[in-house]
Each structure stands twice: as structure tokens, then as C-alpha cells.
């Protein structure tokens, strides 16, 4: 049931951004995944079910820790220029939301979004 909550939140986020195709695919795959996990728990394989759910989170945490420990974020940041633009209305053809990041051009400039500006 915990995984069902996780999938529901992901689907709600996609729907709030207007990503209907992505939400539909996640709904189908989420229901199938919940059914498989529930079946595993039903035959006393709850440990296997928890391993299936927890493995992606553990691998992501390890990969992030290793990359930060090796300083990969600084190496990438020195070579990549980021810009920021958020389109709340995805294109109907691509079903995408464009998110890019940029820093202020000179010291004292404001970031595109600050804590005092409402979104």
C-alpha cells in the first residue's frame, strides 16, 4: 500500500502539469506493479516485495553520494551552462515540460524565482 501512495503522488504531479499521456502510462504500470507486489506479499514473500521497492531508492542514494564524494557536480558545473525557463503549458504534440536553469549574469542580479515571489 505504501507503493500505491508513491504512485498516486507521481500521477497527481503529472496531472497537475498537464502530462496526461505520462499519467496514463504511470497509472497502468502502477496498478500492475501494486498487483504484483500485493501478490508477493500474499504468498509470504514480503521481503522480496520490499527489496523490489527499496532497491531503486538505495541505488539512487548511493549513486548521488558517490558522485558528490568524487566532486563530479563541480566538474560538470564548470563545463555546463544552465538556463532556467519553466513552461506550465506543455506542448500538445510532445507532452513535455521544459525546465532549464541559469544563474544571474552579474553579482546582485536576482534569480528568476525568489522566496518572496509567488509562483
Burial class (CB in 10 A: 0-12, 13-18, 19+), 27: middle
Q: Let me know: does 82 contact 103? Beta carbons within 8 Å.
A: yes
All three cell numbers of 90, joined, read 506543455
- In-domain check, residue 79: no
- In-domain check, residue 92: no
- In-domain check, residue 29: yes
Q: Let me know: does 87 contact 19? Beta carbons within 8 Å.
A: no
- In-domain check, residue 82: no
Give the total number of structural domains in the chain. Answer: 1
- In-domain check, residue 7: yes
User: Which among 65, 62, 67, 102 is positioned nearest to 82, based on CA atoms?
Assistant: 102
Domain range for 7: 2-71
SS3 89: coil
**Which pLDDT value is given to residue 83?**
63
Half-sphere exposure at residue 15, Cβ-oriented, CA atoms within 13 angstroms: 9
**Which pLDDT value is given to residue 2?**
81
**Which pLDDT value is given to residue 94?**
52
d(CA 119, CA 117): 7
All three cell numbers of 110, joined, read 536576482
**Whether the predicted model's global pTM rises above the 0.85 cut:** no
- In-domain check, residue 86: no
**Which pLDDT value is given to residue 113?**
47
- In-domain check, residue 16: yes
Q: Which residues of the chain have pLDDT under 50?
A: 95-96, 104, 111-119
- In-domain check, residue 101: no
Amino acid at each position: 500500500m505504501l507503493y500505491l501512495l508513491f504512485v498516486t503522488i507521481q500521477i497527481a504531479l503529472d496531472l497537475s502539469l498537464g502530462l496526461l499521456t505520462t499519467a496514463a502510462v504511470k497509472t497502468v504500470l502502477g496498478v500492475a506493479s501494486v498487483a504484483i507486489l500485493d501478490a508477493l506479499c500474499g504468498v509470504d514473500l514480503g521481503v522480496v516485495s520490499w527489496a523490489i521497492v527499496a532497491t531503486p531508492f538505495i541505488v539512487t542514494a548511493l549513486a548521488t553520494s558517490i558522485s558528490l564524494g568524487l566532486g563530479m557536480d563541480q566538474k560538470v558545473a564548470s563545463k555546463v551552462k544552465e538556463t532556467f525557463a519553466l513552461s506550465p503549458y506543455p506542448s500538445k504534440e510532445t507532452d513535455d515540460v521544459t525546465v532549464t536553469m541559469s544563474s544571474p549574469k552579474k553579482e546582485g542580479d536576482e534569480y528568476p524565482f525568489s522566496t518572496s515571489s509567488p509562483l
